[in-house]
Chain A
Amino acid sequence: MTPSYILSPTDQLRQHLVATTALLASADAMVATLEAQLDAARTHRASLQETLEPMRDHQQALLRWRERTKRDDGDPIAELAALIARITASSEPWTLDHYDEPAGSVQLRAPDGMRYHLTFRAAKITLFDDAGGEEVHERKDVNRPITRAWIAGSAAWVFALQPARRRGEIRVVIDGDIERMEVLP
């Protein structure tokens, strides 16, 4: 290689260009690598959040209940979640027998006749029509079969009632922590 001290200024520039071309390629590769890593990290974060958030909601609701009741065991959140899974999996519909907003309670009947009395703490019970938007004010929706039930976050439990001929599907949304779940005689 020709020593640079005898290179002309323009030849030195040519050498700079070769070095800069290499730098450009490595900077370009670095950006591509980091973009791929960032993309992977963001995907990982999103999937972790998707997994952990319901779990964290559950833990939070449970911690509220434990602190309120001063108990050091038990998990009514999981019990209600299991009940909700049974309602959704059931081939025969469950029924909403009764609900009492001031008391924050709901009474459900299983196809085998077993009745469950659920009490929520500081609950707001709202009925929505099937579009989900409009609030329903009439109180004649008891004894309608439940078609689906789910947990929306840790403090909202939703029971969807079968659409009636003249009315659409009604959703009973109970916004509040579960306090107690009792099997009625």
Chain B
Amino acid sequence: MSEYRDLSTDEVRARHAASAQRIAGLEATVADLERQLAAAAADLSRARLRHDHLTALLAWRERAGCDDGDLIADLDALLDAIDARWRVLTLEQLPTPDLEASTCALTLRAPDGSRRRIAFDGLATYGDGALFRTPLEPTTLRLNQAVELAWSEQGHRFLSVICRATRSRPRLMIEISGAVRRMSTHVQPGA
């Protein structure tokens, strides 16, 4: 039997409005929780970045035996600069490996001729940037390519550099798995 048959039209209208309000209330709760979750996820992401940074920095301080400096932040600043102005730096020297010490170093050159040499506690692997992780033999023919993208993933402690493709050369991807050890800037004499 109908629960509405003996209800006045106004009462039916009131029931209809009440059910709309219940749904709207839950919609608001869901939207509020979504906002809270987005804020909490942002907090988590910030805490994780800070944690990764501090962990990497403390490991570097202990290895280097120094009580100041923040090489991790310096490298991040350089990577940010590369990403913001990606045409600027060119790869002057491929990571030269020291197989015995499991370290390698690469050199980047700025348009003003200054060079940045970055040493890592880890070895580099090369790939074709188009075919990710396809092994590629390092060859000096790839020098002087512009760095297109560079980033680090501190949680996994590796640095990735992608060099731009040119007409004659494919993209080059370099992955260095390991912590940064040293970064030095050399100014080109006479530059």
Decide if B44 touches A17 in the complex (CB within 8 Å).
no
Question: Which residues on the B side are within 8 Å of A21 (C-beta)?
Answer: 51
Q: Is the CB of B47 within 8 A of A48?
A: no
Docked pose: A146 CA to B15 CA in angstroms: 34
Please report the C-alpha to C-alpha distance between residue A21 and residue B50 in the assembled complex, in whole angstroms.
Answer: 9
With A37-B33, A41-B26, A63-B12 already in contact, the answer to whether A20 and B4 are too (CB < 8 A) is no
Which of A5-13, A128-136, A165-173 lies on the face that meets chain B?
A5-13
Q: Considering the chains assembled together, what is the distance between the CA atoms of A52 and B18 in angstroms?
A: 11
Evaluate whether A34 and B37 lie within 8 angstroms (CB atoms) in the complex, with A20-B50, A63-B13, A78-B5 already known. Answer: yes
A55 at interface by CB-CB < 8 Å:
yes
CB pair A31 B26 closer than 8 Å:
no
A24 touches B (CB below 8 Å):
yes
Give the interface size bracket for A toward B: 35 or more
Tell me the minimal C-beta distance from B99 to chain A in angstroms.
Answer: 31
Chain A contacts for B62, CB-based, 8 A = 10
State whether A17 touches B58 (Cβ < 8 A): yes
Report how far A34 CA is from B37 CA in the complex, Å. Answer: 6
Q: Is the CB of B51 within 8 A of A20?
A: yes
Q: How far is the CA of A52 from the CA of B15 in the complex (A)?
A: 11
18 residue pairs bridging A and B, Cβ less than 8 Å apart: A13-B61, A14-B58, A17-B55, A23-B50, A24-B51, A27-B47, A37-B33, A42-B30, A45-B26, A49-B23, A52-B23, A56-B20, A59-B4, A63-B9, A63-B13, A72-B9, A73-B6, A75-B4
